[in-house]
Chains A and B, each alone.
Chain A
Amino acid sequence: MEPLKIADKEFDSRLFVGTGKFASNTLMAQAIEASGTQMVTVALRRVDIENENDNMLAAIDRQKYQLLPNTSGARDAVEAVRLSRLARAASGIAWVKLEVTPDPYYLLPDGQETLKAAEILVKDGFIVLPYINADPILAKKLQDVGCATVMPLASPIGSNQGIKTKAFIEIIIEQATVPVVVDAGLGAPSHAAEAMEMGADAVLVNTAIAAANNPVEIAKAFKIATEAGRIAYETGIAPKSETASASSPLTGFLRNE
């Protein structure tokens, strides 16, 4: 498999893993390890000053896994920029998964505010990976303002519905000059493989791993599926046909005609 290049960094794994919703930090660390990922997303929230705070970062080996802080919770560009700058101060790295989701029910991204925030953040030196609706025009605009990737959604975040936006993601893949990361809604390893076969450069999975019966085993399945899909894309899939095409020879049958 070719390595994935984002900004000036190369990744051997094309599976990014989200760290939300795990039952424990230990389970999260084991699932991350099993997934083979090299990039994990994290969120920023207020410290609870009345209770003890769990330090999830301690469970992530920063030498092996690059952090990708997200701006989840941001409802507009101003909030997303503020969260990005806080994340940079907290992590020491200027990579950000930009997400602006004003609607709490479907968590769909606001393209206009995302573009506004992306312009500010790119100028401020950030490596910006924006989470977007599968909108090819918006993807192009984000690419033009200097985003390092585009991350179109397959279906609503955490819904595990698979790739409902296929036709539009295909257009984005065809047109993009930056890596396309299919994010949100990939619920099964087959969905990840499908995205990779379509030519996506990477996939991001969180809920489908964290909420599975056995996150470590399913993380392994996602790793294999992502690799299988990528290899198939790189080597090419045999063409489809409307009619049958026998796999066995059509001569030498054991009958008299």
Chain B
Amino acid sequence: MSAILKINGTKKTFDEGLPPTLSELLNNLEIDAAMVVAEIDGEIIERKSFAQTELKEGMAIELIRFVGGG
């Protein structure tokens, strides 16, 4: 069963169903959790809560990281 998340403003379809948690989504996307901060539907998710954060169809997820800047 396919499911959709909106990640960083773009819809992404998961043909095999949603990853159950935010941690598993990051694994799935091959993103190192240590370098990102997340926001789901406008709420900041602390890194320590990634593994407990369950994902649901249609959630808007922002994955953000530090880059060089002045």
Chain A positions near chain B (C-beta within 8 angstroms): 18-22, 28, 41-47, 49, 52-53, 55-58, 67, 69-70, 72, 85-87, 89-91, 157-158, 184, 204, 206-207
- Which of B8, B44, B46, B70 interacts with A19 by CB under 8 Å? B70
Contact between B31 and A53, CB atoms less than 8 A apart: yes
Residues A47 and B8 in contact in the complex (CB < 8 Å), given A55-B32, A86-B64: yes
What 7 pairs across the A-B complex have the smallest Cβ distances? A43-B69, A18-B70, A206-B70, A90-B37, A19-B68, A47-B63, A20-B68
Contact of A56 among B31, B46, B47, B66 (CB under 8 A): B66
Contact of B44 among A20, A43, A67, A89 (CB under 8 A): A89
Whether the pair B35, A57 counts as a contact (CB closer than 8 A) is yes
How many residue pairs, one in A and one in B, have C-beta atoms under 8 Å apart? 96
- Contact B65 A89, beta carbon cutoff 8 Å: no
Asked whether B1 is an interface residue with its Cβ less than 8 Å from the other chain, the reply is: no
Interface string of B24-45 (1 = CB under 8 A from A): 0000011110011101000011
Q: How would you classify the secondary structure of chain B's contact residues: helix, strand, loop or mixed?
A: strand
User: CA of A206 to CA of B32 in the docked complex: distance in angstroms?
Assistant: 27
Given A55-B35, A57-B35, A90-B37, also A49-B63 (CB < 8 A): yes
Are B69 and A72 in contact, with the CB atoms below 8 A? yes
The distance in angstroms between the C-alpha atoms of A21 and B65, with both chains bound, is 16
Taken together as a complex, chains A and B put the C-alpha atoms of A47 and B64 apart, in Å, by 5
- The answer on a CB contact under 8 Å between B31 and A45 is no
CB pair A47–B65 under 8 Å, yes or no, is: yes
Give complex CA distance A157, B65 in Å.
Answer: 23
What distance in Å separates the Cβ of A80 from its nearest Cβ neighbour in chain B? 14
A-side contacts of B8, CB under 8 Å:
46-47, 49
For residue A83, give the distance in angstroms from its CB to the closest CB of chain B.
9
Whether B70 and A157, one on each chain, are in contact in the complex, defined by CB atoms closer than 8 angstroms, is yes
A57 touches B69 (CB 8 A): no
Known A18-B68, A20-B67, A72-B69; 11 more pairs at CB < 8 Å: A19-B70, A20-B69, A41-B70, A43-B67, A46-B8, A47-B36, A49-B29, A53-B35, A87-B37, A184-B70, A206-B70
